[in-house]
Amino acid sequence: MHDQSLIGGSLDGAAASGDPSMQRGIPPEIMAQIKAQYGFDKPPIERFFIMIKSYALFDFGDSFYRDSSVIDLLIDKMPVSISLGLWSTLLIYLISIPLGIKKALRHNSSFDIWTSSVFIVGYAVPGFLFAMILVVVFAGGSYLDWFPLRGLTSDNFAELTLAGKIADYFWHLALPLTAYTIGGFATLTLLTKNSFLDEINKQYVTTAIAKGLDDKQVLYGHVFRNAMLIIIAGFPSAFVSMFFTGSLLIEVIFSLDGIGLLTYEAIVNRDYPIVFSTLYIFTLLSLLLKLLSDLVYHWVDPRITFEGGR
């Protein structure tokens, strides 16, 4: 902090000065130091290449408002966001894919109709609104006080046994994970159903049944591989969406100290190094996951190649 008389004197002389920094109450020498500290005293092209080099080395500088480097903050907050993203993605895929297959096999049945109605309602409710409803109903808001509201562990977590730590972790994870996954079930389940339904109605399935193959052989030997391609293609965007966009809201509501909450506070405080670094990391993560999905494409269906020509 600068001396109050210095700032006051600068403000008194602002009207008589044409210097924009003086009109903001900041002495020119202090403004020059700030520009030099953050590289604004260099030409734009030079600053751009310095930024590219720094980002390539994961050197994001220091936070404007936290006494720490940006990379240390991200590493510290990453485990919370990763755990939420991985658990929610795993839960959605483990439930939605078998359920979508069952809906395709029982198309237009009463089971298909009422489950679709439930999924449409769940999809229509935004995740953050559902999170607030869960807090009000189950986390001591107005009704029940069954689940904790803050953090992923209790204060006495270190004193618990291994089984107690696992139970405590999932106890804290129950409400955020439910809020994370409620909308994802509808999208992936209906996508799986429509994909399998489209494949089941194709000519090669009729041919396979005519050759004497039973339903399971046709479903898992022929239909499954082709129908899963579109689901695999959507995995990167689904994971990044849950890992970044969803966490930004859910972590704020449940006060989870992850990257989502860190990014929200950085946006509010205009802590640009944190904002830009999170955008860079998740863009890079999205590109890597898209590459992974292409490799899984080839693993699921070896007929797909990445060679040019035919």
pLDDT tens column, 218-234: 777 777 777 777 777 66
Residue 281 pLDDT: 84
CB atoms near residue 234 (< 10 Å): 14
Residue 23 pLDDT: 45
pLDDT confidence bin for 17, thresholds 50/70/90: very low
**Alpha helices (runs of H) in the chain, residue ranges in sequence order:** 4-12, 20-23, 28-37, 44-56, 70-105, 110-124, 127-138, 162-200, 203-210, 215-218, 224-233, 235-240, 247-253, 259-269, 272-300
Check: CB of residue 305 under 8 Å from CB of residue 298.
yes
Residue 24, pLDDT > 60, answer no
Check: CB of residue 222 under 8 Å from CB of residue 303.
no
pLDDT tens track for 31-65? 787 777 667 788 889 888 888 888 888 888 888 88
Q: Helix (H, G, I), strand (E, B), or coil: what is residue 194?
A: helix
Angle between helices 224-233 and 272-300 (to 10 degrees): 170
Instruction: Look up residue 72 and give its two tokens.
Output: 């240390």
Residue 21, pLDDT > 70, answer no
CB atoms near residue 38 (< 10 Å): 14
Identify the weakest region by mean pLDDT among 93-97, 119-123, 131-135, 297-301.
Answer: 297-301
Query: What phi, psi does 68 have (nearest 5°)?
Result: -165, 160
- Mean pLDDT, the chain, rounded, equals 76
Check: CB of residue 193 under 8 Å from CB of residue 104.
yes
Summarize the confidence of residues 28-33 as an average pLDDT.
Answer: 79
Residue 306 pLDDT: 63
Residue 105, pLDDT > 80, answer yes
Instruction: Look up residue 3 and give its two tokens.
Output: 């001396």
Euclidean distance between CA atoms 231 and 70, whole angstroms: 35
Residue 16, pLDDT > 60, answer no
Angle between helices 162-200 and 70-105 (to 10 degrees): 50
Instruction: Look up residue 250 and give its two tokens.
Output: 């859910």
pLDDT confidence bin for 149, thresholds 50/70/90: confident
More confident: 247 or 282: 282
Residue 308 pLDDT: 53
Instruction: Classify residue 159 by its DSSP letter.
Output: G
